[in-house]
Structure 1
Amino acid sequence: MAELPSVTVIVCTYRRPRQLQALLDSLALQHVEGLRPCLCIVDNDAEQSARELVAQAQQDFPWPIQYISQPVKNIALTRNAGLSAVKSDYLAFVDDDEIACSVWLSSLVFLAQKESAQLVFGPVLPVYPENIAAWMIEGKFFERPRHNTGHYVPVGEARTGNVLIDSAFIQNHGWKFDEKLGLSGGEDSAFFENMYRAGALALWADEAEVFEEVPVDRATVGWLLRRSFRIGSVEASLACARGSMWQICRIISKIGYLIVRSVILAVAMPFRKKSDNFKVLRSISLAAGICYGLIAGPYNEYK
């Protein structure tokens, strides 16, 4: 009789006790018949603020829970601490500010096994605060592309917020998250690029929903522009790191495209919706971030 597939859910956390508890509550209600799940919580707080909460959860949680302290402020090192603990067939990443639907984990594993996929991604749906500006919701600035189940996921949409990974595939290659990107972000993009280049099959499981709270301090013009700037800087620095002249030329041409497009759209700003006009500002911020990244490397948003 074949052994049931095992899966380790990795949660990297930093001083979010309320959100972490909500996530644990949702994981405890998962439909995991036919699976052997376990949970690994990596605490990136040097004061180990999540330790007591995890200790309480370990008393009656339906799966085994492992607690790891990783005190250095660096998300790549924190993710790698989780990877080092994995001894299962699959591993899944979910963020500490997300809540998983009851069929989240089973949907990811089912599709991975059915299609022999090395990567399975699912939707991350925003939960907005009550006082968020209506134009921010209209502009879908916190939403991500969504697909039908079984749809191929392009590398540009690969994220760690809701993903299942074939453990053997990454262990055989010895891949880790790049700690040099641990304060800027983009470590997940670089990690998944390695997997795609090695031939990983990446599919979408639309039933594997998680819900992410949008904090009030992120529902602002300043935060969204900084995020676009950071994304541009990381994209440029990764292009330079690849050492390909074609990649560098491509990223430089993108700057020109963004600027020209923004100038054209700016002419029509008095006649456009506020959400559409803000997309122009984000394009300018993205172009500025690319310029920054070409000169100074990735912008450290999380320092």
Structure 2
Amino acid sequence: MKTLAPTLAPVIPLKVTVAALTFRRPDGLRTLLHALGQQELNQMRPYILTVLIVDNDAAGSGRLTAEAFSANESYQLIYVIEPRQGIPMGRNRAMDDAPADTDLFLFIDDDEWPAPGWLDAMLTTRNMTGTDIVHGPVEPVFSPDGNPYFIQARVFADRSHLDGERIDYAASNNVMMDFRRVRAAGIRFDERMRFTGGEDFLFFNQASRIGFTISWSDAAIVFDGIPATRMTWKWALQRQFRIGNTFAVAARIQDDRWVRSRWLGIGLLRMGLGLALLPMLTFSPRYGWQGIAHLLRGAGIVVGMFGLAYEEYSPARLATA
């Protein structure tokens, strides 16, 4: 009797939506949409891709750039306008307008572009770990005319972990979520953080607190273009203060006395550590910068705990940036 070789059941493609907010960055958006069309598809991990662009400019300045990719064969393109300016408004609109059958939902920024194996690396880590959320690294790509000090000091260096390592945080610049579970849990980006930034810190912190698991995907790389305009002391110092301040804003929103006390303590400790490290500025750009970063983040936390919200993304501030 002839023995028939077993046949493998076909793998059902996942429905994947990649979303990006955009605000008057046509060149960055163009680079991103091109790179998303170059993603490597592994037949062991098949997917059907939708790319959702949320334009946070009420005038629709990104429409022509986005719609130039509407006929591509790699993904379905959806372009929408969210006229209420503010990052959490745009992120919530993206989740609201994702196709109803979306299994996995990803966020990436409009000044970033993914490596060709980015999406498959995300899927590989998800299959390996079984976690609800997968977060990956962001590698800076520096403008050739930028200040070399900021490269030496590793001002734009991202965190790093072992591949598949369980972590307790994520950010929306390179993340994938089990979208069915996110919708079932009803988690939203808090619109009270409309112009402060940090809404993603609060979102994933809340997800983690209700049981969502998060893993690191070391091969899921996205690149971040760093123009010379960011490689300045003014920009770098303001950014560190703002990051710390958003931790405090998020803690105040949670309205938990223990959380608020904890963050106030963290802010004071970071200020002390920063002051201790500042003398290293004279001989080590890297450790000197760590002193500055600790000091400013700590200061942002402390003043934030007393009610100051630094609105880096307010229309007035963006108009003068």
TM-score bin, normalised by smaller chain: over 0.9
1:180: Cα distance to partner?
A: 1.0
1:271: Cα distance to partner?
A: 4.6
Aligned residues: 300
Letter of the aligned partner of 2:65 in structure 1? L
Select which of 26, 44, 61 maps to 2:35. 26
Aligned to 2:51: 39
Aligned to 1:127: 141
Task: Write the distance in 1 (CA, Å) between the matches of 2:70 and 2:31.
Answer: 15
Deviation per residue, 1:181-237 (Å, 9 max, x gap): 121001001110121112112111112111110122111111111111111211112
TM-score (norm 1): 0.93
TM-score (norm 2): 0.88
Task: Write the distance in 2 (CA, Å) between the matches of 1:245 and 1:16.
Answer: 40
Task: Write the distance in 2 (CA, Å) between the matches of 1:185 and 1:230.
Answer: 8
Instruction: Name stretches of at least 5 consecutive residues in structure 2 with no aligned partner.
Output: 1-9, 315-321
Letter of the aligned partner of 2:298 in structure 1? A
1:78: Cα distance to partner?
A: 0.3
Select which of 117, 120, 124 maps to 1:106. 120
Instruction: Name stretches of at least 5 consecutive residues in structure 1 with no aligned partner.
Output: none
Letter of the aligned partner of 1:7 in structure 2? V
Alignment CA distance shift 1:276-1:68 (3 Å): same
* Identity score, percent: 29
Report which stretch shifted further, 98-107 or 235-244: 235-244
2:244 equivalent to 1:221: no
Structure 1 segments of 4 or more deviating over 4 A? none
Aligned to 2:289: 278
Letter of the aligned partner of 1:15 in structure 2? R
Select which of 242, 245, 266 maps to 1:254. 266
Q: Secondary structure at the match of 2:49?
A: strand
Task: Write the distance in 1 (CA, Å) between the matches of 2:286 and 2:117.
Answer: 34
> What does 1:35-114 correspond to in 2, within 5 Å?
35-86=47-98, 87=100, 88-114=102-128
Aligned to 1:291: 302
1:288: Cα distance to partner?
A: 2.2
Task: Write the distance in 2 (CA, Å) between the matches of 1:262 and 1:146.
Answer: 22
Task: Write the distance in 2 (CA, Å) between the matches of 1:102 and 1:263.
Answer: 42
Task: Write the distance in 1 (CA, Å) between the matches of 2:73 and 2:56.
Answer: 22
2:249 and 2:309 in contact (8 A); partners too: yes
Task: Write the distance in 2 (CA, Å) between the matches of 1:104 and 1:270.
Answer: 37
Deviation per residue, 1:44-71 (Å, 9 max, x gap): 1111011112222102342111111112
Report which stretch shifted further, 253-262 or 104-113: 253-262
1:19 and 1:97 in contact (8 A); partners too: yes
1:115: Cα distance to partner?
A: 2.7
Alignment CA distance shift 1:111-1:282 (3 Å): closer
Aligned to 2:18: 9
Structure 1 or 2, whichever has the larger Rg, is 2
Q: Secondary structure at the match of 1:39?
A: strand
1:141: Cα distance to partner?
A: 1.3
2:37 and 2:72 in contact (8 A); partners too: no
Deviation per residue, 1:111-144 (Å, 9 max, x gap): 2234322101111100011122222112211111
2:21 and 2:54 in contact (8 A); partners too: yes
Aligned to 2:159: 145
Aligned to 1:231: 243
> What does 1:153-232 correspond to in 2, within 5 Å?
153-155=167-169, 158-232=170-244
Deviation per residue, 1:140-165 (Å, 9 max, x gap): 1111112232111222xx11111110
Alignment CA distance shift 1:279-1:56 (3 Å): same
Report which stretch shifted further, 59-68 or 277-286: 277-286
Alignment CA distance shift 1:284-1:81 (3 Å): same
Deviation per residue, 1:16-36 (Å, 9 max, x gap): 111111111111111234111
1:269: Cα distance to partner?
A: 4.2
